Structure 1
Amino acid sequence: MKAGLFQQQTLKLSMTQELSQAIAILQYSSQELSSFLENKLLENPLLSLEHNSSLPDHAASGRRKSKRMSMSGNKQNFIEQLSGDAPSLEEYLLSQINIGEYTRKQQSIMLEFIRNIDENGYMRIGAGDIAEAHCVPIEEAERCLKAIQRLEPHGIGARNLQECLLIQAEYEDPDSLAKRILEHHFLLFAEKKWKEIAKKERITLKQIQDVFDYVQSLNPRPGSRFYQDKPSYITPDVVVESRDGELYVSHYENGFQELHVNELYLKKMQGHHDKSVNHFLREKWQEYQWISRGIQQRRDTILRVMTKIAECQPDCFHFGLGHLRPMTMKEISDELHIHESTVSRAVKDKYVQTPFGTFEMKTFFTSSLQSANSEDMSGQQAKIGLKRIIANESKLKPLSDLELAELLKDECGILLSRRTVAKYREQLGIPSSSKRKRFE
């Protein structure tokens, strides 16, 4: 062994800046890409954005279609969706207070309470804290809080869910069975341990069922309507249409922004002979080319992936998600001769507009389930079957997860374990059999 200088040739992959940026652009959602370009416009004076609505369609078979899809029929009047400024919760509550009935000290305490009501309408400060801050007895603070709880919307200013529902039930009927149950048996009622309540109150399960139906009509978040966020609209990246029995895939034209060079600025700057100015222009021109190529590659990759998905799932796009067959990202990557991670980035947070609704692109990837007839079944088909069986069950005697598994096998030919049925049921937001039971 000795020290020395040697020459050696090796092959290795390196992550260039352009490749890294292309990967980042590919996995951006439409909103993220829009924000990215807006930030770049502030940094790079050579960039400009123009709205473009002239992208070609592609048939699901991969052929290019010359006729452009028109989206003019789907234009919406967004002006009608805008609303005026509604009063805030604080303004609404203060407008109901008759200041002539309260002293200045009480008004100050009530204002303090109102300012500590959260977006759901719940009080987030204790009467003791208010009493200490205003140097008054706690009983005085409690009286002010009760005055606020008598305001509309009913249930406002409650310190917990039980008190919120109790205030609403008391307003409807101070002597009702619902008020008595909510006040004295709230936990047993919520956990559906109704037999204990029936024994203690000497009432029937049918009466408790009626109370349950009534409580379901109450508002557990009385302040939420004053804090409604502005609706956010999903912009699909691609559109799948069925025309004469054939599927066509295209970019969503109204959501496309084309990147251009600011020719006016470029011509103005090219007249300078300053080396620093020329160096700046070269850097910004190179950045424009990188971003432009990245956007084009993103657009092409998403279109290729969605076209291949449409080819592999024709029944799904013609007849709905109930006909979704098992398919993995590995299958699509093998068909397109690209890496599986590229497919994953291409479908991440991307949406597709179909004849039966707008969905995430990853919705069309699902694992294969074992079936009684050896046919491939998807998890989506299992969920649809599960939802249908539960909808048709007897509410007086709901089916257990084990019984649901047996019916899925007999009616749909899908073999699932009890635990998998429970997992799918929870994903669908369906409660357990004990909580689905009704007493007539």
Structure 2
Amino acid sequence: MMDLKAGLWQQQTLKLAMTQELSQAIALLQYSAQELSAFLEEKALENPLLKIENVNIKPMNPLMDRNRRNHQKSEKDWIEQIADKPFSMEEYLLSQLKITNLTAQQMKVIRHLIKNLDENGYFKGELIEISQNMRVEHDVVDECLAIIQTLEPAGIGARDLQECLLMQCYYKNPNNELAQTILSNYFIPFAEKKWKPIAKELGASMKDLQDVFDEIQQLNPKPGALLRNEPTTYIIPDAIVEQTIEGLTVRMFDESLPRVRFNDSYYQKFQNQNKQVSRFLHDKVQDYQWILKSIEQRKETLTKVVAKIVEKQPAFFQKGSQYLVPMTMKEIASELDVHESTVSRAVREKYVQTPIGTYPLKTFFTSTIQTLTDEESTSSTQVKNEIQSLVAEENKQKPLSDQEMVEQLKLQKGILVSRRTVAKYREQLGIPSSSKRKRFV
């Protein structure tokens, strides 16, 4: 029988409380450089003691800038001074029309139809609905869409992929009746490479169908994408790995981050005010100090993680990505004596510039694949590279099945993987199945 009595006992436990400061430090660690900059700008609005200096923005000296511009202008070729004003899809298409041959009504409808093209150049509107809304005969709307479909790039204004490819095929070679018949009447089975019944019905050879397939492969399924003039995006690395005489070195690249400064003039001006103001300043001083500490902790943790990656992946940085060895976040966390989630946050949205290119830090973490020898292992990236090599070197008339690749990896490289794993990696690489890779030439 249990003796249940009420009483008071003391018990000592160790517990980590999620304070606001700790939460802030965790958040800053996972922020990308852009997110951190936005966070600091926001904090500067809340805390008058926190002053932001954008070091990448230099003050303007009108005299020096004018002299520099004049000097640069004289060195440039005249053609480089033409303004780079990109055309929109609408402007580009309208510029091809022979306006003198079109009525005002047709131009109005064409403009409206062009606004219904998606970013890939496909027409996504409903002709009947547009006809009713614009109070225009359906035949006129249909004719206007046909006019758009005669413009370049070929395939623009198509209502689906089948029509898009058919339009391009006719534009490229109007005499290729076999290709046009296949795209018109056998689109799905042809794409699935169910060619034997198609060849039998059309009285064509498998080689003829292979030629049509090769020709269709050269067409563009997204013609509108050719008209997108998007600005080039640049990746600013968070860390830089360099090869020196002493070996591989790591340095953090924080020039793009704004500098945090203490607004001493504001503090001196208001520090001797009443208690309420003093309490406000005290809180803001603590907030400023916590932000500085969090930024320094972020930099320190990120430096340690990158340095450890370099230590464990020297061949990658010196020879190339094919030498990436298996490595997990848990392994790095264990060696740095931190939690795995800390490593995960540290590498999130971070990039490293290396002698062989700029990579996301997550690139270096791969799963381990077993090999025939217990002493060695390989990474999933290496296995994918081997699969690509096998497909590149295979007999295209008798492509390797997933099971045959399993056996080849085992015999040639000593890599043990399942057929399911090979199929998953093959799909991730965008490699079709063996039946769809087969050629009839």
Instruction: State the TM-score, normalized to the length of structure 2.
Output: 0.86
Deviates more, 1:155-164 or 1:305-314: 305-314
Q: Which residue of 2 aligns with 1:112?
A: 112
Q: Which residue of 1 aligns with 2:22?
A: 19
Q: Pairwise mapping of residues 19-418 of structure 1 onto structure 2 (< 5 A)?
A: 19-50=22-53, 84-176=84-176, 177-244=178-245, 246-270=247-271, 273-374=273-374, 375-418=376-419
Query: Alignment partner of 1:250: what SS?
Result: strand
Query: Alignment partner of 1:431: what SS?
Result: coil
Q: Percent identity?
A: 53
In 2, Cα distance between equivalents of 1:100 and 1:256: 56
In 2, Cα distance between equivalents of 1:14 and 1:109: 65
Contact 1:327 1:368 (8 Å CA) reproduced? yes
Contact 1:236 1:255 (8 Å CA) reproduced? no
In 1, Cα distance between equivalents of 2:399 and 2:130: 49
Instruction: State the TM-score, normalized to the length of structure 1.
Output: 0.86
Q: Which residue of 2 aligns with 1:433?
A: 434
In 2, Cα distance between equivalents of 1:226 and 1:47: 45
- The alpha-carbon distance between structure 1 residues 191 and 240, as it changes in their structure 2 partners (threshold 3 A), is same
Two-structure CA RMSD over aligned residues (Å): 2.5
Aligned partner letter, 1:148:
I
Query: Alignment partner of 1:335: what SS?
Result: helix
Query: Alignment partner of 1:255: what SS?
Result: coil
Query: Alignment partner of 2:395: what SS?
Result: coil
Aligned partner letter, 2:116:
N
Contact 1:52 1:253 (8 Å CA) reproduced? no
Deviations 1:331-358 (A, max 9, x none): 2222211112111211122212222222
1:11 positional shift: 4.2
Aligned partner letter, 2:175:
D
Contact 2:166 2:180 (8 Å CA) reproduced? yes
Deviations 1:406-433 (A, max 9, x none): 1111111101111111111112221111
In 2, Cα distance between equivalents of 1:94 and 1:321: 47
Query: Alignment partner of 1:189: what SS?
Result: helix
Deviates more, 1:388-397 or 1:16-25: 388-397
In 1, Cα distance between equivalents of 2:206 and 2:358: 43
In 1, Cα distance between equivalents of 2:47 and 2:215: 60
- The alpha-carbon distance between structure 1 residues 413 and 86, as it changes in their structure 2 partners (threshold 3 A), is same
Deviations 1:295-346 (A, max 9, x none): 1100000111111222222233222232222222222222211112111211
Q: Which residue of 2 aligns with 1:423?
A: 424
Aligned partner letter, 1:125:
G
Contact 2:86 2:229 (8 Å CA) reproduced? no
Contact 2:37 2:257 (8 Å CA) reproduced? no
- The alpha-carbon distance between structure 1 residues 83 and 297, as it changes in their structure 2 partners (threshold 3 A), is farther
1:137 positional shift: 3.2
In 1, Cα distance between equivalents of 2:424 and 2:180: 35
In 2, Cα distance between equivalents of 1:204 and 1:384: 35
Deviations 1:248-287 (A, max 9, x none): 11112543443222334434444x6244443333332222
Q: Which residue of 2 aligns with 1:75?
A: none
1:6 positional shift: 8.4
Query: Alignment partner of 1:310: what SS?
Result: helix
